[in-house]
Structure 1
């Protein structure tokens, strides 16, 4: 997972993006002139103090929220709403409880009007990719938290997005399941190579997954620091326990938790 070089045209570009909520004396600035370019195929994690605008930035990139100023580009085109090239995965699994794993994964394919045979071929591939082949006909209520999130990831991949926007997708999982899900996600990413914008509060997770860690400043949200993750492409337990991992983790930790509070200008 070597650090990719940005092409002439970034896959995702935040250009002087600001977002204000509310009006008058009760308004507040959540994002303040965010500038960030992310390369095609890059895995970027985003960390920062609570309320620093991480989720706001992702929602804007997903087309679920407008900017107050600036613009966000995907493949050089302004974001004006949700699009099939951007798959969104939240901490809540958002599965349809009355549909099986396969039916959930095929939901977007059905909306696209694909024939049953093609839906089956695609769902078979991604259900297998996330390790749920034996649970294809199971309802979400019978699945563990990790399995539900794997189903959500398979559903996002199935509609063939070029980018995944993920907001704390493993935040509700226990520690061991979380580690397994991180490895599963990296394995899937290494084979499918989508661009990933991944928000987390977990510094270890941020370092383990990323090509680069984006550290946001306290509210109003600004770009505080970009930290390259120069670790072996194949991430495993040995990498987690390495001196190099610890050094990068400490750098990210200090960048997040030793910030001086910002005041709005």
Structure 2
């Protein structure tokens, strides 16, 4: 399946990815073609082993494709780039640095002057609701606060793209819902192109303007579902008939595609 967008910020062109483990080669992705438009929020969901994270890592420049290519703004990805921020499920904060210093880290690498760094950090700490915790260490934060710090750090270096690999997967249900709302609030105020990998159907619908459903063995795009719910998304929207309809469509595509039910028996 190929989706073509004239103003694509991220473009996967017939992406193929193979890995060799203990002498056996397997195909993680086969013929993945997808465009993600500038400023679009896309979620990628699918059964275990469908290559969601592999696809994201290719976009981040963390691995070299076996075949095909990934383009960012019409330039082929050949390694990590400051234009792209990556947030993983693990918090990846420096435990010896305060919240402020963690958010400031990338700005220091870019040699931004101290006065400007402070202004930028203050802005993003306020945006994610961590101003009161600027001098706290990561060990003093909850899981949700750590991820808010990671989001602020990613935004602070002004990337054009955010790649997020199940960033809320380790959180409890209520914190996860709050973080989804916080992320959308931040994205609404300062829009970036977002590719968000998740295994949670509700999360995929609530966040995205478009859900990409993957099929496994080998990983490939199975279905695309447009989420025709307006932004901003609200808690009440989760209880609406429209949300239930879209959730059912995604659930059907993820769990009732050929081979999935048999694989879990």
TM-score normalised by L of structure 2? 0.95
Q: 1:143 aligns with which of 141, 157, 174?
A: 141
Q: Which residue of 1 aligns with 2:251?
A: 253
Q: In 1, distance between residues paired with 2:124 and 2:162?
A: 15
Q: In the TM superposition, what is the alpha-carbon distance from 1:128 to its structure 2 partner?
A: 0.5
Q: Which residue of 2 aligns with 1:33?
A: 31
Q: 1:93 aligns with which of 91, 94, 97?
A: 91
Q: In the TM superposition, what is the alpha-carbon distance from 1:24 to its structure 2 partner?
A: 9.2
Does the Cα contact within 8 Å between 1:105 and 1:123 map onto a contact in 2? yes
Instruction: Give the number of equivalent residue pairs.
Output: 259
Does the Cα contact within 8 Å between 1:16 and 1:35 map onto a contact in 2? yes
Q: In 2, distance between residues paired with 1:89 and 1:200?
A: 12
Q: Secondary structure at the match of 1:201?
A: coil
Q: In 2, distance between residues paired with 1:117 and 1:79?
A: 33
Q: Which residue of 2 aligns with 1:219?
A: 217
TM-score normalised by L of structure 1? 0.95
Q: Secondary structure at the match of 1:239?
A: helix
Q: Which residue of 1 aligns with 2:263?
A: none
Q: Secondary structure at the match of 1:11?
A: strand
Q: Which residue of 2 aligns with 1:176?
A: 174
CA deviations on 1:101-142 (whole Å, 9 max, x unpaired) are: 000000000000011101100000001100000000000000
Q: In 2, distance between residues paired with 1:86 and 1:166?
A: 11
Q: Secondary structure at the match of 2:8?
A: coil
Alignment of 1:45-64 (within 5 A): 45-64=43-62
Q: Which residue of 2 aligns with 1:82?
A: 80
Q: In the TM superposition, what is the alpha-carbon distance from 1:252 to its structure 2 partner?
A: 0.2
Q: Which residue of 2 aligns with 1:240?
A: 238
Q: Which residue of 1 aligns with 2:228?
A: 230
Q: Which runs of 5+ in 2 are unaligned?
A: 261-265
CA deviations on 1:183-205 (whole Å, 9 max, x unpaired) are: 00000000111000000010000
Q: What RMSD in Å do the two structures reach over aligned CA positions?
A: 1.6
Q: Which residue of 1 aligns with 2:116?
A: 118
Q: In the TM superposition, what is the alpha-carbon distance from 1:98 to its structure 2 partner?
A: 0.2
**Would you say 1:17 and 2:22 are equivalent positions?**
no
Q: In 1, distance between residues paired with 2:229 and 2:6?
A: 25
Does the Cα contact within 8 Å between 1:6 and 1:39 map onto a contact in 2? no
Q: In the TM superposition, what is the alpha-carbon distance from 1:219 to its structure 2 partner?
A: 1.7
Q: In the TM superposition, what is the alpha-carbon distance from 1:238 to its structure 2 partner?
A: 1.4
Runs (4 or more) in structure 1 with deviation over 4 Å come to: none
